[in-house]
Amino acid sequence: KQEVTQIPAALSVPEGENLVLNCSFTDSAIYNLQWFRQDPGKGLTSLLLIQSSQREQTSGRLNASLDKSSGRSTLYIAASQPGDSATYLCAVRPGSNYQLIWGAGTKLIIKP
């Protein structure tokens, strides 16, 4: 059974720092992995999608990497800003069915 874990559950850093959010999964047989952002009480905004054949994806100040063999993905945020404060969730789509399986998220606070 696929399980997704995100550590830490919460992170607070000063503005301007580069930071890394972690996502681990137990079964390496995945179609893809997706990172999302969620603002309080709101829906989910897709940030990056990494296909199983890819190693990384970049969008602006965000870079996501995927290491299937070790069951890990990281989301790198460069030059963090207060507007980056949100909960970041990763989700994997297993190779054998269609549902997304989610981590519980990392709540990120960027201090001005």
Partner 1 sequence: DAGVTQSPTHLIKTRGQHVTLRCSPISGHKSVSWYQQVLGQGPQFIFQYYEKEERGRGNFPDRFSARQFPNYSSELNVNALLLGDSALYLCASSQTTGGAEAFFGQGTRLTVV
- Which residues lie near partner 1 (CB under 8 A)? 4, 31-32, 34, 36, 41-46, 49, 51, 89, 91, 93, 97-105
How far is residue 95's CA from residue 37's CA, in Å, rounded to a whole number?
23
Burial of residue 55 (CB within 10 Å: 0-12, 13-18, 19+) is exposed
Cβ at position 43, least distance to partner 1 in Å? 4
- Smallest gap from Cβ 96 to partner 1, in A, equals 10
19-25 vs 72-77, strand pairing mode: antiparallel
Which of residues 36 and 108 has its CB atom nearest to partner 1 in the complex?
36
In the complex, what is the shortest distance from the CB of residue 61 to partner 1, in angstroms, rounded to a whole number? 20
